[in-house]
Amino acid sequence: VIKCKAAVAWEAGKPLSLEEVEVAPPKAHEVRIKIVATAVCHTDAYTLSGADPEGCFPVILGHEGAGIVESVGEGVTKVKPGDTVIPLYIPQCGECKFCKNPKTNLCQKIRITQGKGVMPDGTSRFTCKGKQIYHFMGTSTFSEYTVVADISVAKIDPAAPLDKVCLLGCGISTGYGAAVNTAKVEHGSTCAVFGLGGVGLAVIMGCKIAGASRIIGIDLNKDKYAKAKEFGATECISPQDFKKPIQEVLVEMTDGGVDYSFECIGNVGVMRAALEACHKGWGVSVIVGVAAAGQEISTRPFQLVTGRTWKGTAFGGWKSVDSVPKLVTEYMSKKIKVDEFVTHTLPFDKVNEAFELMHTGK
């Protein structure tokens, strides 16, 4: 058993608490990882807020991390102690019907136990003050050591800087993949990206790499425009600057609508606007943002009858174990940006400050 520091969420709506936790050794087909770097994501904040129907407490949050394998359980063959890895919230077992189907990356092998905050055998590897602490998204990267299933780990280039590539564990991969895998943006196309946070910027990067000729960024926060343009946005607009709905503005700006739109916020009203901003006959709108539990999307069926397509994406459609090492390689060869997404680097004990920076859009 390893004793280490972890940020524990004892209950919903309260700040994380830095505690000493005990991390049990990995069981069969499990891997214990020394986490070197982790990032914060709105999904962590969503669960912490208490709005997540799958949220269980007390829990160790975090799902964008990178580290070094400390030890492995019986039967683990793909990684060994000392390997550099990224934990994966969407695993890839290679055996379930989802893994065998080229149309999806949604491995279901450990979905039920992962959703309940436990390891595949139904138990937790974390204890604190004598209490069992739940796992989060199969990763729990807000701990100096964590235990994950062996199908939830990608072995990456040991030369990669872990304080940067941890972002490939969720946000950057999700946005980039939404453009290149889910939408399959084509050369010369026109795109609209709603929400210019980390995921939105990654979508812009993907659209640019795919050769889009016009990329319109949409956000209420104008402080985000300069960064969006660095990533490839050709122009940025705020819905507050117009009297009419933003979808009407976009349809006028683009002679009938955009070829591809992306909703990177998790707001069902914006999801509707993103679909309706698409061009009749061929426009495709991709939902990337995660809306709160129980919310529903709506539009007039005529929007779809007249040739628009509504799609969704999870982790950018990447089959995780196969793709994450390749994404790291693309970063190392400067094909994709990662460093540019990092705005602040804080010590682990300032994790609550990191959430505040995220909530204020900084």
Q: Select from 47, 329, 64, 319 the least CA-distant residue to 172.
A: 64
- Residue-level pLDDT at 172: 97
Same domain, 205 and 109: no
Average pLDDT over residues 311-327: 98
Is 46 a domain residue?
A: yes
Q: In what order do the strands lie in the sheet with 309-312?
A: 235-237, 214-218, 190-194, 260-263, 284-287, 309-312
Same domain, 120 and 89: yes
Per cent of the chain over pLDDT 90 is: 96
Partner residues linked to 285 by β-bridges:
261, 310
Is 190 a domain residue?
A: yes
Helical H runs in the chain? 42-49, 97-100, 111-115, 162-165, 171-177, 198-209, 225-231, 246-253, 268-276, 301-305, 320-332, 351-359
Helix axes 246-253, 268-276, angle to 10 degrees: 20
Is 163 a domain residue?
A: yes
State whether residue 145 is helix, strand or coil.
strand
pLDDT digits (tens, 9 = 90+) for 108-129: 999 999 999 999 999 999 999 9
Same domain, 36 and 149: yes
Residue 58's CATH number: 3.90.180.10
The contacts of residue 168 (CB under 8 Å, 6+ apart) are: 86, 324, 327, 328, 331, 338
Same domain, 266 and 348: no
Show the domain range for 86.
Answer: 2-169+319-352
As a whole number of angstroms, the distance between CA 346 and CA 235 comes to: 32
pLDDT digits (tens, 9 = 90+) for 256-284: 999 999 999 999 999 999 999 999 999 99
Residue 88 has a CB neighbour count (10 Å cut-off) of 27
- Residue-level pLDDT at 292: 86
- Residue-level pLDDT at 134: 98
- Residue-level pLDDT at 133: 98
Is 362 a domain residue?
A: no
Is 361 a domain residue?
A: no
Domains of the chain: total: 2
pLDDT digits (tens, 9 = 90+) for 144-201: 999 999 999 999 999 999 999 999 999 999 999 999 999 999 999 999 999 999 999 9
Tokens encoding 26: 């990995």
Same domain, 125 and 190: no
Q: Select from 175, 179, 208, 139 the least CA-distant residue to 289.
A: 175
Residue 224's CATH number: 3.40.50.720
Please say whether the beta carbons of 185 and 179 come within 8 A: yes
Please say whether the beta carbons of 284 and 263 come within 8 A: no
Please say whether the beta carbons of 206 and 179 come within 8 A: yes
As a whole number of angstroms, the distance between CA 52 and CA 293 comes to: 6
With cut-offs at 50, 70 and 90, classify the pLDDT of residue 54: confident
- Residue-level pLDDT at 51: 87
Q: Would the pTM count as exceeding 0.75?
A: yes
Same domain, 180 and 163: no
Same domain, 48 and 68: yes
- Residue-level pLDDT at 187: 98
Is 360 a domain residue?
A: no
Is 153 a domain residue?
A: yes
As a whole number of angstroms, the distance between CA 219 and CA 221 comes to: 5
Same domain, 153 and 290: no
Pairing of strands 131-133, 126-128: antiparallel
Average pLDDT over residues 305-324: 98
pLDDT digits (tens, 9 = 90+) for 211-267: 999 999 999 999 999 999 999 999 999 999 999 999 999 999 999 999 999 999 999
Same domain, 30 and 105: yes
Inform me whether the pLDDT recorded for 361 exceeds 90: no
Inform me whether the pLDDT recorded for 90 exceeds 90: yes
Is 120 a domain residue?
A: yes
Same domain, 123 and 236: no
Query: If you search the block for the tokens 């960024």, which residue do you land on?
Result: 217
Tokens encoding 193: 């990206």
Same domain, 222 and 265: yes
As a whole number of angstroms, the distance between CA 58 and CA 9 comes to: 5
Same domain, 34 and 183: no
pLDDT digits (tens, 9 = 90+) for 291-310: 988 899 999 999 999 999 99
User: Chain-wide mean pLDDT for the chain?
Assistant: 97
The dihedrals phi and psi of 296, each to the nearest 5 degrees, come to -130, 150
The dihedrals phi and psi of 131, each to the nearest 5 degrees, come to -105, 145
Average pLDDT over residues 72-95: 98
